[in-house]
Structure 1
């Protein structure tokens, strides 16, 4: 049989072979791109981990000016409640106005009312009540009448003082309710709060997790499994806290609804707003 030298493929077959090689090249480049910091590989996932050192360049106790200069936050405050200044993360205000004027006005009014009533309550608590003299035996009708008048005045004053203290307590409860409403409104996109000494609360977006993999969407059982041995406890505000290693006073704080975690933050609960 005579050997026949076959020509190189041309036309449609040649195009197919060239395209196959190009496709392989594109897939290889795509794989490299997906593993870069801008994709969804390990480097991107790492950016959504909240650690004891903070999140997205925001660190415990850092100043408000330094945080804003870093570009991680929207420049307009979303709350001034209680003397703290709160911001959202940059780019997170797409599904919610960055600043809700009506909510902030309600917060300002509640703060002012609480300040006024607290001052009155402090005056009441610090005042020394005027002692009511006892009625002597065989007192005259006029003396008995005067005694009854002064006793009535004393009772009225005591009732007024009690109302002031009760009003101050209600004002405090109103501020706490507004704070809880604000915190829940920003559970999904996150919120960063600054007090007198710097960053005091770092509530991260819903996609973020701790190094143990716990965050919004985790079950209460998963939270306890990860942190029971690290001192997890239910705090007075109804959220779970676990101390942070190497950061005295700081804790991871988990908001839990029913049997599921709905929010994650790094907080110093003792840092004052103002």
Structure 2
């Protein structure tokens, strides 16, 4: 009898333990379901979707200065189309040589005094050049020698004619010299314009379309070249791509696949001071 009672007590304890375990599991499951239910109800009440982790967006770097275009401006683009991009300030900053130049948004206002000086220099060159061309067409042919039997009167008349023609020739020679000096002044004005916008950048339009994109100082090519880059870095980046020093002193490199277009790098000392994409075959006027 004693043994039987002990066995029954042992079985009772085991059953109690099992029941407690089952109860605990049920409570745990209930709590979990209740939590899910609560979350679902909260989402339903607020309309907020379940948060799904997403990858952080990859930040874009600054736009590279390239022959294909910059800030929406593309080689050959018509002036009106270029202005429609919103990338340029509207008042032109130069009308020299028949081209119309603009600066990028935020660039300097037009220098009216410089523009007036450019216009005067260009007008003077055109006037003197036309007069020199006309005078050159009227330049007298060299006089032949007098015949042996010429009279003193004939000789005097020939001498007077030669003096008049010499005077005309001297006037023509002076016009040609003045026209040449006016051309020098025009080239100085062109270089002054380039220097004035080397850091801010500018865009030049001819009648045929956009012919020159000058990069602002902060711009960089895809290879990281821009204002402040060393000459050594410039040569390492483009030496194998046809980079050569031109007669102007700039370093030039043809644009692959774009006939007539080239990169130009202005170098001051041993550093790049500015760069542009240009087609010198497109004339302003």
* Cα RMSD (Å): 1.7
> Equivalent residue for 1:74?
89
Match of 2:73 among 39, 58, 80: 58
> Equivalent residue for 2:219?
208
> Equivalent residue for 2:61?
44
> Equivalent residue for 2:135?
124
Say whether the 8 Å CA contact 1:52–1:245 is kept in structure 2: no
> Equivalent residue for 2:160?
149
Residue 233 (structure 1) shift: 2.0
Runs of 4+ in 1 over 4 A off after TM superposition: none
Q: Deviations over 1:136-156 (max 9, x none)?
A: 214322222222212222222
Separation of aligned partners in 2, 1:59 and 1:198: 10
Residue 110 (structure 1) shift: 1.0
Which consecutive unaligned segments of at least 5 residues does structure 1 have? 1-31, 37-42
Match of 1:232 among 243, 265, 268: 243
Matching of residue 269 in structure 1 with residue 284 in structure 2? no
> Equivalent residue for 1:18?
none
Residue 238 (structure 1) shift: 2.5
Residue 234 (structure 1) shift: 2.3
Match of 1:185 among 189, 196, 199: 196
Match of 2:185 among 174, 178, 184: 174
Separation of aligned partners in 2, 1:78 and 1:205: 15
TM-score by length of 1: 0.79
Which consecutive unaligned segments of at least 5 residues does structure 2 have? 1-55
SS, match of residue 199 in structure 1: strand
Matching of residue 245 in structure 1 with residue 262 in structure 2? no
TM-score by length of 2: 0.76
SS, match of residue 274 in structure 2: strand
Residue 112 (structure 1) shift: 0.9
Larger Rg: 2
Separation of aligned partners in 1, 2:100 and 2:68: 21
